[in-house]
A and B are shown apart, each in its own frame.
Chain A
C-alpha cells in the first residue's frame, strides 16, 4: 500500500510560525501534526509581580490583530477579583470597541487570507488584479473596524485607552457620529460580503464537533456569559479549568487544550453562531439564512460565511450602541484591589479567550493563566486534518496540500504576529 508524507514547513496566510506534517500509510493518516515552532513568549510568567492595573496594556501586546480581546478578558478578570461589575454606558463602550476588533479581524481574514483559497488564487494580489472593487471593499471594511478601535482605544494596534474599571477617556456623543456614518456603509458592505462568500464552492466535509462559546441571556456574546457547548455543557466561566485542560505536546510550543473527558472542541465564529443564532441581529440572522447557514452547521469551510455574518452583526450592534449612547458620568469606576482570584472570558474574533489572575490586596499579580483560542482549536484542527485527508486521498498531492492548508485557515489560527512563506516538501513512497 502506498505511503505518503506531506510536510508544509511554514504555513502561509496564518498569523505566526507554524508547519504541517502528515503521514499516510495504508489509506490511514498515521500522524497529523500542526507544529507551532514559534518560541514561547512567557507572558504569564512576567505578569507576576506587576500591578493589576498593568494587565490590559501588557496582555494587549500578545496580539496585534486582537489586542482588544486580551484587554477585555484581563479587565473583566481583575474586576471579578476585586468584586466590581462595570455596567451602563461603560459596558456598552466595551462592546463597541469589541465590534471594531471583530470587523477589522474578520474583514482581514475573509478578504486577505481565506478567500484566495476558494477562488483558486495564491494570494489577495491576484484577486485585486481581477476584481479590484471586491478587494477595495474588504480594505475599507477593515479600515472602519480599525477606526472604531482607534476612536475608543487611542490607536489601532495595542490600544492604550482601556483600563481596569473602564477607560481613561470616553468619547462624546458627537465624536461617535462620523464613525456611525461609516458603519452604515460597512453594514451594506458586510451584506455584500456574505452574498459573495456564500457563492464559493465548499468542500463536502462535515464532522461531529463539540462547539464551545459564551452564551448570554440577552445578547450575542462579546464580554460576558456562561460557557456552553453543543453537547450540553453550561458552566460559569470560573469553572473553566474544572472542565478544560491544557497539556504540552512535543511537536508544538503552543499548549493543546481539550475537555477533561478527552474530547476536542471548537471555539470561534462557527461555535458562536451555532450556539447563539437566536441572538444575532435580525438582519444578520436573515442574511445567514439566505446564505444557507443555519445551525447546526458542521462544515468548517463555511466559517468564512460565519465571519461575514458576524461582521454584519458587529456593524448592527455598533450602530445600535452609537444611537443609544449617553456618555457615562466618569470614564471609569473605582476598582480597589483585594486578596483574591478573578476570572475573565471573552469572545476574541477566533474564539473564547480565558484569563485567570490571583492578586493580593496591594494589587500585585501573584499568578496568571491565559488560554487563547488557537491553543483550544489546535487539537481539533489536527483531527480535522486526519479525517479530511483520509476522505480525500484520491486528490493529487498538490490539491490535497492546498485543501489541508485551507482547512487550517478555516480556524484563522493566530500563532503570533509574524508569518513566513510556504515551503512545501512532499514524499511519496511505495511500501
Chain B
C-alpha cells in the first residue's frame, strides 16, 4: 500500500507564516531567491543555515521575492531581517547591510524580480502605505553567477555563512537585552 501524508507542499525548509498575516513574530527572517539560479539562491541558503538555530519566537521564511507578498509577510512583524542576492559589479561575496528606515535601497543593486516589483519597490510601497515593520534590516550579498542550474559559488556561500552568523548573533544579543 502506498500512503501519502500531506501531499500538498509544506516546503521542507520553509517555516511559513500565514499569508493571512495571523503570525506576529518578534523577529521574521526572510530569505529571497531563486533555487535554480546560482548565486541568486543565497537568501534561501542563509535561511537553511539558520533553521533550528534561532529562538522559537523567530520565524524563517523562504520567498521568491514578489513585492506584494513581501509586504504581506512583514506587515505584522516588529523586526524583519531580509537577505537577498545583489548584483552591483562589486567583488563577489561582498555584503551590504541597510536599515530600510534610514534611506531607500538602491534599486539598481537588487535583482529585478517579476514585473519590476521586487525588494526595493516593496520597501518603498510599504513605506508609502505605512506597512513597514518597526525595524527592517536588509542584507545584500554580491553574486556573480546567476546561470540557470548553477550552484552557489563558494565565495558567495562563505559570505552567506557569515551573514547567517551575524543574524544569529544579532538576534541572540537583542534577546539578552
Q: CB of A112 within 8 A of chain B?
A: yes
Q: CB of A371 within 8 A of chain B?
A: no
CA distance A169 to B7 in the complex (A): 7
Are B8 and A169 within 8 A (Cβ)? yes
With A129-B128, A136-B129, A139-B68 already in contact, the answer to whether A154 and B116 are too (CB < 8 A) is no
Contact with A along B95-125 (1 / 0, CB 8 A): 0000000000001000011111100010011
CA distance A418 to B19 in the complex (A): 24
Are A417 and B9 within 8 A (Cβ)? no
Q: CB of B66 within 8 A of chain A?
A: yes
CB-CB nearest in chain A for B63: A157
With A64-B114, A135-B125, A421-B116 already in contact, the answer to whether A161 and B8 are too (CB < 8 A) is yes
CB-CB nearest in chain A for B107: A421
With A132-B130, A147-B19 already in contact, the answer to whether A419 and B69 are too (CB < 8 A) is no
Contact with B along A123-157 (1 / 0, CB 8 A): 11100110010011001001100110010001111
Which residues from B are CB-within-8-Å of A385?
none
Contact-residue bracket for chain B = 20 to 34
Are B69 and A146 within 8 A (Cβ)? yes
Query: In the complex, how many angstroms separate the beta carbon of A284 from the nearest chain B beta carbon?
Result: 24
Are A124 and B68 within 8 A (Cβ)? no
CA distance A142 to B66 in the complex (A): 12
Q: CB of B64 within 8 A of chain A?
A: yes
CB-CB nearest in chain A for B128: A128
Are A157 and B64 within 8 A (Cβ)? yes
CA distance A147 to B66 in the complex (A): 14
Query: In the complex, how many angstroms separate the beta carbon of A250 from the nearest chain B beta carbon?
Result: 26
Query: In the complex, how many angstroms separate the beta carbon of B20 from the nearest chain A beta carbon?
Result: 8
With A132-B129, A139-B68 already in contact, the answer to whether A146 and B116 are too (CB < 8 A) is no
Q: CB of A113 within 8 A of chain B?
A: yes
Query: In the complex, how many angstroms separate the beta carbon of B102 from the nearest chain A beta carbon?
Result: 18
CB-CB nearest in chain A for B121: A125
Query: In the complex, how many angstroms separate the beta carbon of A117 from the nearest chain B beta carbon?
Result: 14
Q: CB of B72 within 8 A of chain A?
A: yes
With A124-B125, A125-B121, A157-B64 already in contact, the answer to whether A112 and B115 are too (CB < 8 A) is yes
- The prevalent SS among residues of A at the interface is mixed
Interface residues of A in 57-104 (CB under 8 A from B): 64-65
Contact with B along A393-431 (1 / 0, CB 8 A): 000000000000000000000000111110000000000
Most chain B Cβ neighbours within 10 Å, of A125, A132, A157: A125
A-B contact count (CB 8 A): 75
Q: CB of B71 within 8 A of chain A?
A: yes
With A418-B112, A419-B115, A421-B116 already in contact, the answer to whether A128 and B69 are too (CB < 8 A) is no
Interface residues of B in 1-47 (CB under 8 A from A): 7-9, 19-20
Are B128 and A125 within 8 A (Cβ)? yes
Q: CB of A12 within 8 A of chain B?
A: yes
CB-contact partner of A15 in B7, B66, B115, B130, under 8 A: B115
CB-CB nearest in chain B for A64: B114
Interface residues of A in 138-195 (CB under 8 A from B): 139, 142-143, 146-147, 150, 154-157, 160-161, 168-169
Which residues from A are CB-within-8-Å of B113?
417-418
Are B114 and A15 within 8 A (Cβ)? yes
Which residues from B are CB-within-8-Å of A146?
19, 68-69
Q: CB of A258 within 8 A of chain B?
A: no
Query: In the complex, how many angstroms separate the beta carbon of B124 from the nearest chain A beta carbon?
Result: 5
CB-CB nearest in chain B for A417: B114
Q: CB of A366 within 8 A of chain B?
A: no
CA distance A135 to B131 in the complex (A): 12
Are A420 and B115 within 8 A (Cβ)? no
A-B interface, 5 closest residue pairs, ranked by CB to CB distance from nearest = A128-B128, A419-B116, A154-B8, A129-B128, A417-B114
Q: What are 25 A-B contacts with C-beta separation under 8 Å?
A: A15-B115, A108-B115, A112-B117, A124-B117, A124-B125, A128-B125, A128-B128, A128-B129, A132-B128, A132-B130, A135-B125, A139-B71, A143-B68, A146-B69, A150-B19, A157-B64, A160-B9, A161-B7, A168-B8, A417-B113, A417-B114, A419-B112, A419-B114, A419-B116, A421-B112
Other 10 A-B pairs with CB < 8 A, given A15-B115, A160-B9: A108-B68, A123-B121, A125-B121, A132-B128, A139-B68, A143-B68, A156-B69, A168-B8, A169-B7, A417-B114
* Residues of A near any B CB (own CB < 8 A): 12-15, 64-65, 108, 112-113, 123-125, 128-129, 132, 135-136, 139, 142-143, 146-147, 150, 154-157, 160-161, 168-169, 417-421
